[in-house]
Structure 1
Amino acid sequence: MHPLSMRALAGALATALALPALAADPTLSKIQSSGTLTIGYRKDASPLSYVDASGQPIGYAIDLCQQLAARIQSQLKLPTLQIQYVPVTMAERFDRIAEGKIQLECADTTNSKARRDLVGFGLTYYYAGARMMVRKDDTREQLSQMANARIAVITGSTGKTVAERLKGATLVAVPNTDEGAKAVADGRADAFVSDDISLIDQARMLKGAVKVVGPRMSVEPLAPIVPKNAPDFQHLVAQAMKDMYRDGTARQVYRKWFEHPLPVREYSLDLPPDRLLSDTFRRPDTFVTDWTVL
């Protein structure tokens, strides 16, 4: 090769190597250039993601993602990183990620194989399970006993997938967890199938009008959503979450939201981490115990 060509190639290579290694990822490029991380949250997914009296997002997932944002800022060596919060519904969360309108969704989304075809996920931060809510005087405790019942479900939820396995029941679509619980309490539905953590919280709010019954009917690894075609950002999120688990930050955040009185709610759920989550905190890994119906 001609000496000039060699020098030109070497110069081009040096220039390429001098560029930030993470800039090839469009999601990271956007975060770096804007100095902003846009986080989607849910208003109705307590204790993971809800709002305080002033309408500001709070919750276990929100706290973890704030910690995550601080570590992303440090890794990218950004002088500041603003967090912009965008409310999303259960039905639109995946579209908002795919459209680039949010870079993270921090709520109660289950990591499943079908969903990994659409989006990426961070590490699991809670293991839920589908259970059933009924009125306080209802003696039925199993989904199999609800063959001719009206069952409230949220469109696009894994709870709906679980309830669909029961033949003969009438599914009643509700927009969110609050409405599903109210539908049972008001007699518009006989049962509501959803993540147990959300049902337990709603039962506490409704002060004995409803109850959560039966065993878990699924394994639901809940995790933050990230864009699918953003490998560098996914790696950054995964590494930051591993560090949070190893240094005890995640366990401290968990204790605040599950073992102490909840902000706004003023009661404690008194739920220590189960064995799956305890193991994840001790030995964090990108491997996921996949969503499955039990």
Structure 2
Amino acid sequence: MAARLPGMLAALWLGLVATFGATLAVAQDATVLSGTLKKAKDTGTLVIGYRESSLPFSYLNQASRPIGYSIDICTEIVQAASEEVGRELAVKWVPVTSENRFEAITSGKIDLECGSTTRNAERMQTVAFSPVIFIAGTKLMVPRASPIKSFRDLKGKTVVVTAGTTNEQAVAQLSKRFDLNINLIRVRDHADAFAVLSRGGADAYAGDDVLLYGFLAHYGAGKKFIITRDFISYDPYGIMLRKNDPQFATLVGKAVRDVITSGDMERLYKQWFMNKLPTGERLGIPMSAELGGIIDATPERPE
């Protein structure tokens, strides 16, 4: 028996070494970067798509640099990604529109889309989203003297919308459902839609209510236009990213939840929706009960 002991100890030692090696390999595999995070570490860059006229979510300041509520949230995501990959990541900014933003994500042209994009089940078949960061809804902007008070007054009227938005879908569905025969004008971006309405090319502009209020504030147009009371649709916003990239999706989700639970989201809301903006506007839009409910219901991430 004594003669066999060294051999048994050697076998036991080899077994422990093999087990430790397998455990270490599993631990290392768990931290191996993939998808967007691997690309970010290799290149030192995250590519962010931004909108040029989605005030106050994502728009250009006087120096033509993207700023806004969504931009600030994306900056927190970039910081979290930097910590995850172990190096400071630079940001490459790429402008996108309502029409090309989805292709920009799915093709890999951008890694995040930081704007005013509605998070819904249809879109989540092809892209992924962060947790909800805002809740908006489709309303109508019309001239003050207009007889249009709700969507039911749009029969035979011309409505301008931004192509590729849920606003476009909502108005088209209402027109068909209620036989309104609405003439839809589809334009490239929100600023283009406001321009069409301003020069009398449409009877109404259908857009997310917060963006419509942004145009009134930015152009001082409150004496010329009003926004109707009733919502045509409800639209929860999220930060858009590629689908089937679970590692990056987990990081984005944690980063946004940290913004919510730390109190930073309420601070950012006050900064971008209540206070005077860096570009001089003041929206003065109190936080909705729906968004407040999301903030209150978001559990803190366990350490």
Relative to the length of structure 2, the TM-score reads 0.86
2:125 match: 117
Which is greater in Rg? 2
Tell me which residue corresponds to 2:255.
240
Q: Return 5+ residue gaps in structure 1 as ranges.
A: 286-294
Matched, 1:171 2:194: no
Distance 2:263 2:293 in 1: 13
Task: Provide the residue aligned with 2:231 in structure 1.
Answer: 216
Give the drift of 1:205: 2.9
Aligned position for 1:128: 136
1:229 match: secondary structure: coil
In 2, Cα distance between equivalents of 1:184 and 1:97: 30
Correspondences of 1:244-263 after superposition (within 5 Å): 244-263=259-278
1:1-294 alignment to 2 at 5 Å? 13-14=22-23, 16-19=25-28, 21-23=30-32, 25-74=34-83, 76=84, 78-164=86-172, 165-166=174-175, 167-206=180-219, 207=221, 208-264=223-279, 266-284=280-298
3-state secondary structure, aligned to 1:192: strand
Deviation at 1:52? 0.8
Of stretches 128-137 and 27-36 in structure 1, the one that deviates more from structure 2 is 27-36
Instruction: Note if contact 2:37-2:81 (Cα within 8 Å) is conserved in structure 1.
Output: no
Q: Take 2:266 and 2:190, find their aligned partners in 1: how far apart are those partners?
A: 26
Cα shift readout 1:240-267 (whole Å, capped 9, x = no counterpart): 1111111111111111100101121x12
Letter of the 1:275 partner, please give it: A
Kindly report the root-mean-square deviation, in angstroms, between the aligned alpha carbons of the 2 structures: 2.1
> How far apart, CA to CA, are the structure 2 residues paired with 1:98 and 1:82?
21
1:137-172 residue CA offsets vs partner (Å, 9 max, x unmatched): 112111111111011011111000111021311001
Aligned residue identity for 1:104? L
Q: Which has the higher helix share?
A: 2
Alignment identity in percent? 28
Asked whether the 8 Å contact 1:184–1:210 carries over to 2, the reply is: no
Q: Which SS does the other structure have where 2:122 is aligned?
A: helix
**Which residue of structure 2 aligns with residue 290 of structure 1?**
none
CA contact (8 A) 2:147 2:153 kept: no
CA distance in 1, matches of 2:207, 2:142: 12
- Count the aligned residue pairs: 280
